[in-house]
C-alpha cells in the first residue's frame, strides 16, 4: 500500500534537511509551493509541514513561512515529540501562536458583532489569534477567503456560509482533508461538517406563539428567498408548527418570500424601495393582517417603513416581530428573538481547538433563542379585529 502524499512530501523535505540541501535558517517551500509542486491540496502540504515541525526540524512562523530549525535545540525537538511545552493548538512552543480564520458574510449591530466578541474572548483563553475575512455573501469571495487563509497558515476555520443552493466546493475539500473547521449559523446539507447555530425552529415557534397568544390570528411572514439556507428554512418550519399546534390554518397568501434588499449582494436603496412596496401591497390587499413576522431585523425595518407610509401605527394597528434587534437608547424598537451570539462564537472557537487536538464532536449543536419584548407588539386593535 502506497504512503499518503503528505508522508511523501514529509520524507522528501526531511531528506533535504538531513543532507544539507536546506541549511539552518533556510526557508523551506510554502504550503502553496508544495501543493503546486506535488499536485495536492494545501491541506495535504500543510500536514507535511506540521509533521516536520513536530519533529523539531522546522519552525513555522505565521505570515512569514517555515524555516529549518537549529538541531542544537534538542530539548525543543524532544518536547515536540512528547507534547511538553505545547499550547492549546498542539504545536511547538517555538512554532508561534495558533491562528483561527473566521469567514463570514458580514456583521453589524443586530447580528454578527456578538459572534466575533465570543470568538475573540475564546482566542484569548487559548492564547491564540482570530483572523476575520468578510465575503458579503459572494460565493467566489468565500472561496478566495478559504484558499487565502489556508495559504496564510491558519490552524482552523470558522465559516458562516454564504446563502445559496450549493455549498462552496472548497468546503467539501476541507471535509475530505479532515481540516479542523466548524460552521456557524447554519448547516450544509449532504456534508458531514460540524455546525453551531440557533435552534431556529424552536425560536420561530416561540415568537409565533407569542403573537398568537396576544390574539393575532392573521400573521404575515416576510423572508428572504430560502434557497436551501437552513436557518431560514428552519424559521419557516417553526412558524408553520406554531400555527398547527394552535389549530390555525397557515395562509400562504400572507407570505412574501422574495425580500432581497437585505441580502449582502443586493443591499441598495432601489431594492429597498421595491421591497417596501411589496409589503405595502401585501397589507393593502390583506387588511385583516394584524402582525408581521420578519425573519431578520433589517426586514423588520422595511416593514415598519411600509406601515408608516400606509399610516398604520406600530404596534396599535400592526405588530412586528423579528430575529435579533440592537438596543437603542435603553429600549428595543422591536420585539425579537435574541440569539445567543457570544456563546455561539465561543463554542465555535473552542470546537475548532478541540478538532485540532483530534477530538470527535457532535455534528450539530443548537442553542436556544430567547424572546425579548420590545415596542413593536401588542394585542390587535379593535378596529383591525373587526375587519377579520
- Give the domain CATH number at 20: 1.10.10.10
Does residue 174 or residue 65 have the better pLDDT? 174
Q: Are residues 130 and 45 in the same domain?
A: no
Q: Are residues 119 and 222 in the same domain?
A: no
- Whichever domain contains 187, its CATH number is 3.40.50.2300
Q: Are residues 188 and 264 in the same domain?
A: no
Axis crossing angle, helix 139-152 with helix 42-54, rounded to the nearest 10 = 20
Strand partners of residue 59: 67
Q: Are residues 210 and 194 in the same domain?
A: no
Q: Are residues 185 and 280 in the same domain?
A: no
Give the pLDDT band of residue 329 (cuts 50, 70, 90): confident
Q: Are residues 124 and 188 in the same domain?
A: yes
Low-confidence winner among 114-128, 186-200, 282-296 (lowest mean pLDDT) = 186-200
Its domain, for residue 127, covers 99-198+341-367
Domain termination site, one of 62, 95, 128: 95
pLDDT at 2: 60
Model confidence pLDDT, tens digit, residues 272-313: 999 999 999 999 999 999 999 999 999 999 999 999 999 999
- Beta sheet of 65-68, edge-to-edge order: 27-28, 65-68, 58-61
Domain termination site, one of 95, 117, 133: 95
Instruction: Give the Å distances, CA to CA, from 264 to 220, 230, 298, 322, 335.
Output: 24, 17, 11, 18, 24
Q: Are residues 53 and 152 in the same domain?
A: no
Residue identified by cell 435603553 is: 330
Q: What is the spatial distance between Cα 9 and Cα 18, in angstroms, rounded to a whole number? A: 14
Instruction: Tell me if 321 sits within 8 A of 291, measured CB to CB.
Output: yes
Share of residues in the chain with pLDDT > 90 (%): 53
Q: Are residues 245 and 378 in the same domain?
A: yes
Instruction: Give the count of domains, the chain.
Output: 3
Q: Are residues 32 and 103 in the same domain?
A: no
Q: Are residues 314 and 361 in the same domain?
A: no
pLDDT at 196: 94
**CB hemisphere CA count around 93 (13 angstroms):** 12
Domain termination site, one of 70, 95, 120: 95
Q: Are residues 246 and 381 in the same domain?
A: yes
Q: Are residues 227 and 329 in the same domain?
A: yes
Give the pLDDT band of residue 322 (cuts 50, 70, 90): very high
Mean pLDDT of 236-257: 96
Does residue 247 or residue 193 have the better pLDDT? 247
**pLDDT value at 63 more than 70:** no
Long-range contacts of range 64-69, CB-CB < 8 Å, 24 or more positions apart? 65/27, 65/28, 65/30, 66/27, 66/28, 66/30, 67/25, 67/26, 67/27, 67/28, 68/17, 68/22, 68/23, 68/24, 68/25, 68/26, 68/28, 69/24, 69/94
Model confidence pLDDT, tens digit, residues 67-120: 888 755 433 444 444 343 333 333 333 446 899 999 998 887 778 889 999 999
Does residue 143 or residue 191 have the better pLDDT? 143
Amino acid at each position: 500500500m502506497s504512503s499518503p502524499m503528505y508522508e511523501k512530501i514529509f520524507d522528501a523535505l526531511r531528506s533535504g534537511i538531513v543532507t544539507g540541501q536546506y541549511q539552518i535558517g533556510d526557508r523551506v517551500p510554502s504550503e502553496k509551493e508544495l501543493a503546486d509542486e506535488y499536485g495536492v491540496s494545501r491541506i495535504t502540504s500543510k500536514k507535511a509541514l506540521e509533521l516536520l515541525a513536530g519533529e523539531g526540524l522546522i519552525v513555522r512562523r505565521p505570515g512569514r513561512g517555515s524555516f529549518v530549525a537549529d538541531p542544537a535545540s534538542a530539548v525543543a525537538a524532544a518536547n515536540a515529540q512528547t507534547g511538553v511545552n505545547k499550547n492549546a493548538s498542539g504545536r511547538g512552543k517555538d512554532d508561534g501562536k495558533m491562528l483561527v480564520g473566521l469567514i463570514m458574510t458580514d456583521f453589524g449591530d443586530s447580528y454578527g458583532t456578538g459572534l466575533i466578541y465570543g470568538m475573540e474572548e475564546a482566542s484569548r483563553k487559548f492564547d491564540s489569534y482570530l483572523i476575520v475575512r468578510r465575503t458579503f455573501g459572494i460565493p467566489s469571495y468565500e472561496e478566495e477567503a478559504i484558499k487565502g487563509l489556508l495559504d496564510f497558515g491558519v490552524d482552523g476555520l470558522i465559516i458562516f456560509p454564504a446563502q445559496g443552493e450549493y455549498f462552496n466546493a472548497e468546503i467539501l475539500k476541507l471535509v475530505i482533508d479532515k481540516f479542523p473547521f466548524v460552521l456557524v449559523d447554519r448547516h450544509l446539507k449532504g456534508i458531514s461538517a460540524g455546525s453551531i447555530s440557533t435552534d431556529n425552529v424552536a425560536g420561530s415557534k416561540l415568537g409565533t406563539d407569542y403573537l398568537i397568544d396576544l390574539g393575532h390570528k392573521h400573521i404575515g411572514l416576510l423572508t428572504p428567498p430560502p434557497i436551501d439556507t437552513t436557518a431560514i428554512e428552519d424559521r419557516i418550519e417553526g412558524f408553520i408548527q406554531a400555527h398547527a399546534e394552535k389549530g390555525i390554518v397557515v395562509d400562504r397568501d400572507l407570505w412574501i418570500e422574495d425580500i432581497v434588499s437585505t441580502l449582502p449582494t443586493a443591499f441598495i436603496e432601489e431594492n429597498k424601495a421595491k421591497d417596501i412596496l411589496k409589503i405595502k401591497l401585501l397589507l393593502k390587499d390583506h387588511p385583516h393582517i394584524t402582525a408581521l413576522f420578519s425573519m431578520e431585523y433589517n426586514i423588520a425595518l422595511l416593514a415598519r417603513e411600509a406601515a408608516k407610509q400606509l399610516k398604520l401605527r406600530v404596534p396599535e394597528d400592526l405588530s412586528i416581530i423579528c430575529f435579533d434587534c440592537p438596543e437603542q437608547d435603553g429600549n428595543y424598537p422591536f420585539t425579537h428573538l435574541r440569539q445567543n451570539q457570544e456563546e455561539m462564537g465561543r463554542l465555535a472557537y473552542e470546537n475548532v481547538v478541540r478538532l485540532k487536538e483530534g477530538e470527535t464532536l457532535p455534528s450539530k449543536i443548537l442553542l436556544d433563542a430567547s424572546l425579548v419584548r420590545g415596542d413593536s407588539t401588542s394585542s390587535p386593535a379593535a378596529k383591525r379585529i373587526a375587519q377579520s
